[in-house]
A and B are shown apart, each in its own frame.
Chain A
């Protein structure tokens, strides 16, 4: 804002000095026609003050009312009216200040040229102000838009992380309900796992990266719960390279992918299902591969299966501004999802 005020004061100085120069030019011109310096100076001063007032008016007008697309014609009439006022005002005032018959004739004869120059000056002022203020407006708009986008992005990231499957939650509670009857200890254990898992999903901040072992520990909570639900039908294999132990990643990226793999695998076969998860370092990327069996003949299209992969893709895009970090392949009854996390 201080910057803007500074700019305005500079403009004021420029405006006043422009006026002084304008007055000097008129004074010199009028004097060159053979009039006394007093007459010439009065003419220059009065004409310039009136012109300056007109310019100030149109500038102020445009500062608060930007003409719409169709109303440029109004601006034209405004300019015309102000030119008329300033020219004829001078024509009317000057004879009172200067009592000289020859000068009066000169004044009457020069009205047309005065009108034209005034019109040009005011029109130029109008144009400059219009461009200047609309640019200011645009800058302001852009700033607001960028802010709104940032807010929306934060909210979206938050939402994407929050989208837990209600199915998972209610079915887990139902399993606990069953365990309470005959295996109370296991029920208690599952409640703790579920609480830890939910707490983990709630407190994580997207900007804060976690290490791969942290993410895997969180994933393990989820897998343990799913294994209680599905019993022997669900098997998992997790393998990590030593070098990936220090790798970092946004929290809760792996879990939705594994969730998707489990759902896709388990609901696509009546046999037992092995979901494998592998992490390795590849150049400067942490590469994670999740595989699940599926039946290409009967698989339902993946859309509408809840959180799924699109959420992960969107998050990776919001975080890294790239769309090539997630890939999927389907062949030989194995569905593979690969995500790459750039390491800094």
Chain B
């Protein structure tokens, strides 16, 4: 018996999925339904489902942002009305999706595909990560970073970010309200953040140009950037070259 969760902000949209799922009630147990990403996140942690039906456009945090916060993501069947970019990403990463309104036949096909080849958790995780990476490249995703602190979800607008620091397998996002860990790599942020605003000045640091107050020389070839908050950030030789390029000096 597989266990499934339906996450969509429109009640009628959830109802369609639940109705269609009726014909699989011997194989799939419905754990519940959630009206937004926060509820979804909580329910996933609580029940650890095998499969989720996930809408992309939802209040506060969208489907992708929610998925980013799940440590061991279950298999996902996305349900969306229209999002050219997301559809491209789904296709590229072999993750199943249903375009609303979808037929029962199309729905059954998605379920049968899931049931016949329930993928290993490791494969699911890999697919999800690839998908999220692809989605993060879309321009609309550059404006905020969603992080989890304990049980709470925090949405950090990119404009509030002061600098990013590598921290083992995580990246520490420093803001005026403190720092938050995000389960991503430095190169991920280097690629997705606006390069005219953020520069990777060091292997372990990305800083926001606006926040620099001073750049001082430090030992040979190296520099130190002093931010508005007083933080001192090492700048490597190549980082200094990049910084000069962006600043146009």
Contact of A269 among B59, B81, B143 (CB under 8 A): B59
Contact A174 B100 (CB under 8 A): yes
Which residues of chain A in 169-183 are interfacial with respect to chain B, using CB atoms and an 8 Å cutoff?
170-171, 173-179, 181-182
- Binary contact track A152-170/B, C-beta < 8 Å → 1, others 0: 0000000000000011001
Tell me if B16 and A174 are in contact (CB < 8 A): yes
User: Which A residues are closer than 8 A to B by beta carbons?
Assistant: 166-167, 170-171, 173-179, 181-182, 228-231, 266-270, 297-298, 300-301, 304
Is B81 in contact with A174, judged by CB distance below 8 angstroms?
yes
Tell yes or no: B209 within 8 A of A by CB.
no
A177 to B19, CA, bound (A): 11
Asked if A179 and B12 make an inter-chain contact with CB atoms under 8 angstroms apart, the answer reads: yes
With a cutoff of 8 Å between Cβ atoms, the chain A residues found around residue B99 in the complex are: 170
Complex Cα gap A177–B39 (Å): 25
Min C-beta distance of A274 to chain B, whole Å: 15
B144 interface residue (CB < 8 Å to A): yes
A269 to B19, CA, bound (A): 27
A52→B163 CA distance, assembly (Å): 82
User: B57 contacts which of A179, A267, A297 (Cβ < 8 Å)?
Assistant: A267
**B81 and chain A: residue at smallest CB distance:** A170
Known: A173-B101, A174-B101, A181-B19. A298 touches B58 (CB 8 A): no
* Cβ distance B144 to chain A, nearest Cβ, rounded Å: 7
Cα–Cα, bound, A229→B14 (Å): 11
Partner of A166 from B12, B39, B82 at Cβ < 8 Å: B82
B118 at interface, CB cutoff 8 A: no
Q: Tell me whether A270 and B157 are in contact (CB under 8 A).
A: no
Q: Is the CB of A178 within 8 A of B15?
A: yes
A-B contact pairs, 12 of them (CB 8 A): A170-B99, A170-B101, A173-B101, A176-B101, A182-B19, A231-B12, A269-B59, A269-B60, A270-B60, A300-B143, A301-B143, A304-B139
Instruction: From B9, B19, B58, B82, give the contact of A170 (CB < 8 A).
Output: B82
Query: Judging by beta carbons under 8 Å apart, are A171 and B16 in contact?
Result: no
Q: Mark B74-109, 1 if CB is under 8 A from A, else 0.
A: 000000011000000000000000011100000000
B169 within 8 A of A: no
- Among residues 17 to 63 in chain B, which have CB atoms less than 8 Å away from a CB atom of chain A? 19, 35-36, 38-39, 57-60
Verify B143–A173 contact, CB threshold 8 A: no
Chain A residues, CB < 8 A from B81: 166-167, 170-171, 174
CB distance from B15 to the nearest CB of A (A): 5
Q: Which residue of chain A has the shortest Cβ distance to B146 in the bound complex?
A: A298
Asked if B144 contacts A270 (CB within 8 A), the reply is no
Q: Please name all residues of chain B whose beta carbon is closer than 8 Å to the beta carbon of A230 when the two chains form the complex.
A: 9-10
Residues of A within 8 A of B59 (CB): 266-270
Q: Is B13 an interface residue (CB 8 A)?
A: yes
Which label, helix, strand, loop or mixed, suits the secondary structure of the B interface?
mixed
Instruction: Report whether B10 and A229 are in contact in the complex, using a CB–CB cutoff of 8 Å.
Output: yes
Closest 4 CB pairs of A and B: A170-B81, A174-B100, A178-B12, A174-B101
B140 touches A228 (CB 8 A): no
Which chain A residues border B222 with CB–CB below 8 Å?
none
| B101 with A177: CB separation less than 8 A | yes
Nearest B residue (CB) for A273: B59
- Docked-complex contact B60 and A268, CB < 8 angstroms: yes
| Known A167-B82, A170-B99, A171-B81: A300·B144 in contact at CB below 8 Å | yes
Contact A270 B100 (CB under 8 A): no
Q: In residues 135-169 of chain B, which contact A (Cβ within 8 Å)?
A: 139-140, 143-144, 155, 157
Closest B residue, CB atoms, query A173: B101
In the complex, the answer to whether B157 meets A175 with C-beta atoms within 8 Å is: no
**Minimum CB–CB distance for A222 against chain B, Å:** 16
Bound-state CA distance A270–B39 (Å) is 10
B11 interfacial by beta-carbon distance below 8 Å: yes
Whether the pair A267, B60 counts as a contact (CB closer than 8 A) is: yes
A188 to chain B, nearest CB (A): 15
Which residues on B sit within 8 Å (CB–CB) of A173? 100-101
Contacts of A179 in B (CB 8 A): 12
Distance between Cα atoms of A136 and B147 in the complex (Å):
67
Let me know if A177 and B16 touch, CB within 8 A.
yes
Q: CB distance A178 to B60 under 8 Å? A: no
In the assembly, what is the distance between CA of A268 and CA of B9, in Å?
Answer: 12
Question: Which chain B residue has the least Cβ–Cβ distance from A271?
Answer: B59
